[in-house]
Amino acid sequence: MTADEFNALYPVGTSVVAYPGIRPEHPVAVRFRKAIAAGHALRETDPCKRLETVTRTPAWELGHGTPVVSVTGYAGGICLTHIDVTTGGA
């Protein structure tokens, strides 16, 4: 989805789940959850940070074309592929 497409569907203030690092289906996150379940985790912090938040800016495209949006509780933009909208659009 492009920044313009996102902005046409979702105004600033839209409820989202944002993953600033990796998504839960990423192989590293999957391995971490399996290691925790087996009692073999080498670290205590889940590499898949999840933020239940709202957008605080319209989406925009970085210089190389990646569309991002800013959310409350996180500095900087998060790639739209790491954003899950939790409410309906316009």
Domain membership of residue 79 (yes or no) is yes
Domain that holds residue 24: 3-85
Domain membership of residue 18 (yes or no) is yes
Domain membership of residue 46 (yes or no) is yes
DSSP secondary structure code for residue 72 in this structure: T
Domain membership of residue 41 (yes or no) is yes
Domain membership of residue 64 (yes or no) is yes
| pLDDT value, residue 88 | 55
What are the tens digits of pLDDT across the range 55-87?
999 999 999 999 999 999 999 999 999 999 997
Residue 41, pLDDT above cutoff 70: no
The contacts of residue 27 (CB under 8 Å, 6+ apart) are: none
| pLDDT value, residue 42 | 66
Domain membership of residue 90 (yes or no) is no
C-alpha 86/C-alpha 90 separation (Å) is: 13
- Number of structural domains, the chain? 1
Domain membership of residue 32 (yes or no) is yes
Segment 17-33 shows an average pLDDT of: 81
CA 20 to chain centre: 5
Residue 44, pLDDT above cutoff 80: no
Domain membership of residue 9 (yes or no) is yes
φ/ψ (deg, to 5) at 85: -75, 135
